[in-house]
Amino acid sequence: MPEPSPPSPIDRLTDAIDSLGTPACVGLDPSPDRFPADIPTSEPAGAIETFCARVIEGVAGVVPAVKPQSAHFERWGPRGLEALWRTIQRATDAGLFVVLDAKRGDIGSTADHYAAAAINAGADSITANPYLGPSGLEPFLKAPLLTYALVRTSNPDSDAVQAIATDNGESVAERVARLVHETGASHRGTRGLANLGAVVGATKSAADGARLRERMPDTPFLVPGVGAQGGTAEDVRPLVRTNARTPGEAGILVNASRSVLYPETGTVADAAKRFADSLRVLVSAE
Amino acid sequence: MPEPSPPSPIDRLTDAIDSLGTPACVGLDPSPDRFPADIPTSEPAGAIETFCARVIEGVAGVVPAVKPQSAHFERWGPRGLEALWRTIQRATDAGLFVVLDAKRGDIGSTADHYAAAAINAGADSITANPYLGPSGLEPFLKAPLLTYALVRTSNPDSDAVQAIATDNGESVAERVARLVHETGASHRGTRGLANLGAVVGATKSAADGARLRERMPDTPFLVPGVGAQGGTAEDVRPLVRTNARTPGEAGILVNASRSVLYPETGTVADAAKRFADSLRVLVSAE
């Protein structure tokens, strides 16, 4: 008899989105200079842990996932990394799916170590850079982690590499999209989506987004750039899978960080609820 | 009066290569399963620190630089990161130039945090991924860190993205090379070399290497893939700058890891010396 497959992280995420009816993800990008006055920041690593603990308490049960951004923790050194690990544990205990936004990328044997680090930290998923080719992605898939490869990022100058036109008329991002689709085809969950996902920014044009979805029909997308970075829920529409039967099968996880962490009015929980609600229309069955 | 420029890491590296007459770099990729029997590995983070301390003692004064590979430390969590920071400090104290091989890449504000992390750790230089565009590289340059952007990596399947043909007949790697050259032009040391470098693997074809050097005439190259990965010193020759007056101005830093860390015969110091000597012919003035 064949070995039973390891549990698939994309299935866990799909179920979590289904159960809350929204594909909202809250980015944990803790910046001590923006913390509320009652969190002392003299010891930054402790402060970011406290801040993240509060955010987790506010968003658990409201959104299915959080995305800790590794650099915001790493900059405080070993104590910062400890804060990251504890934050991941706390989020997991609160029932949240955890995407470690680390954008790692290296050749096979080294990628093995990055994958082990993410698993040891307790993450369900990681962001990764595809520039080194599929062998840099495979170790994350095998870990197993839901692996979101950078395809089209939301920063203003991402065109410098990602929009270079290739010999067949497609952009570099579109060629990378094909690679992600092909590599992911042998790493699927039980509901049709692959364990290899794609980071596709929300602030690029609708046509751009539609071309990427066409090339990656069964790829889960992580969509940053909504909220403070300028994207709106409507910008995400071209990225939604067609014929999805449930919110999770729509194949998107949409991230907001600053607009939820540092809301202009109300609490973090209020901001998370507004964000979560704003996305329901995108994924409700028609 | 204008502010004096910050000290330039590329000048420090160039001087260090000149003073030893060899562009050799020893990669610190500590794998406990390959450690000598007298280093107990029951506590891995402590073991890798001990191992790296020995390597540093063996290679100081023999090679100008070391390249700790971040994943090998990160996989052991906060204690592993502590071992990394102490290793960097120890290497710096021993007079070695430190390239943190972290291959980080993110958008501007997050890259700021990664740059701060590398500076806080004590690194002189970092490897970075260019897929997000120049704004992902600038924060490292400003840190200031000698920043080696991945251009052409030495893993077998790097062609999947890097060798895609673009609309003008150049490969993606060659287009990225142009971008690195242009971005680096405004970040130069006092000896003609830029503070923005390029990772160019030694195992690709000579013609491939020459085309990259042509597009990046003043870019310092970090060249992995020599030794255990199969490249030889002669494979590096097409990457050497022409008209260099000194070994440092040859614009290459050549890395070997496993062949020095785990030598088949003799000590680490012996292996480092053999490696350092094997490269002298490449950079000696004619």
Interchain pair B106, A106: CB under 8 A: no
Tally Cβ neighbours within 10 Å of residue A46. 17
- Least CA distance to A117: which residue of chain B? B75
C-alpha pair distances (Å), A222 with each of A19, A187, B23, B107? 18, 17, 42, 16
d(CA A47, CA A24): 25
B161 contacts in A (CB within 8 Å)? 130-133, 172, 175-176, 179
A160 contacts in B (CB within 8 Å)? 133-134, 179
| Tally of domains in chain B | 1
In a domain, B112, yes or no: yes
Closest to B187 in 3D by CA, of B15, B8, B12: B8
In a domain, A134, yes or no: yes
pLDDT for A203: 66
pLDDT for B7: 67
DSSP-derived secondary structure for B245-269: SSTGGG-EEEEE-HHHHS-SSS-HH
Is the Cβ of A154 closer than 8 Å to some Cβ of chain B?
Answer: yes
Per-residue pLDDT tens, chain B, 286 aa: give them: 566 665 699 999 999 999 999 999 999 999 999 999 999 999 999 999 999 999 999 999 999 999 999 999 999 999 999 999 999 999 999 999 999 999 999 987 899 999 999 999 999 999 999 999 999 999 999 999 999 999 999 888 999 999 999 999 999 999 999 999 999 999 999 999 999 999 999 766 888 999 999 999 999 999 997 876 677 888 899 999 988 999 999 999 999 999 999 999 999 999 999 999 999 999 986 5
- Least CA distance to B75: which residue of chain A? A117
Which is more confident, A225 or B201? B201
Cβ-based burial of B44 (10 A; exposed 0-12, middle 13-18, buried ≥19): buried
Please list the residues that pair with A128 across neighbouring strands: A104, A149
**E strand or H helix at A75, and its extent?**
none
B121 contacts in A (CB within 8 Å)? 77
Chain B nearest C-alpha distance from A122 (Å): 11
- Which DSSP category does A129 fall into? -
Is the Cβ of B74 closer than 8 Å to some Cβ of chain A?
Answer: yes
pLDDT for B10: 98
Mean pLDDT, chain A, integer: 94
Judged against a pLDDT cut of 90, whether residue A111 lies above it is answered with yes
B202 contacts in A (CB within 8 Å)? none
Tally Cβ neighbours within 10 Å of residue B266. 10
**Over pLDDT 90: what percentage of chain A?**
88
The answer to whether the beta carbons of residues B155 and B103 sit under 8 Å apart is no
pLDDT for A67: 98
The answer to whether the beta carbons of residues B247 and B284 sit under 8 Å apart is yes
Judged against a pLDDT cut of 80, whether residue A285 lies above it is answered with no
Catalytic option among B103, B142, B204, B273? B103
In a domain, A124, yes or no: yes
**What amino acid occupies position A108?**
G
In a domain, A273, yes or no: yes
**Cβ-nearest to B158 among A78, A85, A132:** A132
Closest to A105 in 3D by CA, of B222, B130, B136: B130
**What amino acid occupies position B227?**
G
In a domain, B4, yes or no: no
User: Which segments within chain A are labelled E, that is strand?
Assistant: 24-28, 65-68, 97-104, 125-128, 146-152, 196-200, 221-223, 252-256
Residue with tokens 């004590």: B122
**Cβ-nearest to A106 among B103, B162, B165:** B103
d(CA B286, CA B276): 19
pLDDT for A236: 93
- Coil, strand or helix at B231: strand
The answer to whether the beta carbons of residues B185 and B199 sit under 8 Å apart is no
Is the Cβ of B175 closer than 8 Å to some Cβ of chain A?
Answer: yes
pLDDT for A227: 73
- Least CA distance to A199: which residue of chain B? B132
Interchain pair B113, A74: CB under 8 A: yes
Q: What is the largest CA-CA distance in chain B?
A: 60
The residue among A29, A31, A72, A113 with the most chain B CBs within 10 A of its CB, best to mutate, is A113
B103 is catalytic: yes
Q: What angle do CA A236, A238, A241 make, to 5 degrees?
A: 100
CA atoms within 13 A on the CB side of B231: 30
What angle, 0 to 180 degrees and rounded to 10, lies between the N-to-C axes of helices B77-93 and A108-121?
Answer: 130
Chain A nearest C-alpha distance from B244 (Å): 31
d(CA A194, CA B103): 26
| ipTM rounded to 2 decimals | 0.95
Q: Which of residues 185-204 of A touch B (CB under 8 A)?
A: none
pLDDT for A255: 96
Interchain pair A75, B164: CB under 8 A: no
The torsion region of residue B243 among left (phi > 0), alpha (psi -120 to 50) and beta comes to left
In a domain, A286, yes or no: no
pLDDT for A156: 86
In a domain, B211, yes or no: yes
Q: Containing domain of residue A206, as a range?
A: 9-281
The residue among B85, B107, B178, B180 with the most chain A CBs within 10 A of its CB, best to mutate, is B107
In a domain, B260, yes or no: yes
The residue among A106, A120, A154, A222 with the most chain B CBs within 10 A of its CB, best to mutate, is A106
Is the Cβ of B41 closer than 8 Å to some Cβ of chain A?
Answer: no
Closest to A278 in 3D by CA, of A24, A13, A12, A15: A24
- Coil, strand or helix at B30: coil
Q: What angle do CA B66, B67, B71 make, to 5 degrees?
A: 145
Is the Cβ of B163 closer than 8 Å to some Cβ of chain A?
Answer: no
Tally Cβ neighbours within 10 Å of residue A267. 11
Is the Cβ of B281 closer than 8 Å to some Cβ of chain A?
Answer: no
Tally DSSP H helices, then E strands, for chain A: 12, 8
What does the buried/exposed string (b/e) look like for B66-93 if buried means 16 or more CB atoms within 10 Å of the residue's CB?
bbbbbbbbbbbbbbbbbbbbbbbebbbe
Interchain pair A78, B74: CB under 8 A: no
**Cβ-nearest to A165 among B29, B136, B166:** B166
The residue among A131, A176, A203, A229 with the most chain B CBs within 10 A of its CB, best to mutate, is A131
Q: Which CATH number is A88's domain given?
A: 3.20.20.70
Task: Read off the tokens for A53.
Answer: 């603990």
Interchain pair B157, A150: CB under 8 A: no
d(CA B67, CA B87): 11
Please list the residues that pair with A127 across neighbouring strands: A148
**What amino acid occupies position A75?**
R
Is the Cβ of B23 closer than 8 Å to some Cβ of chain A?
Answer: no
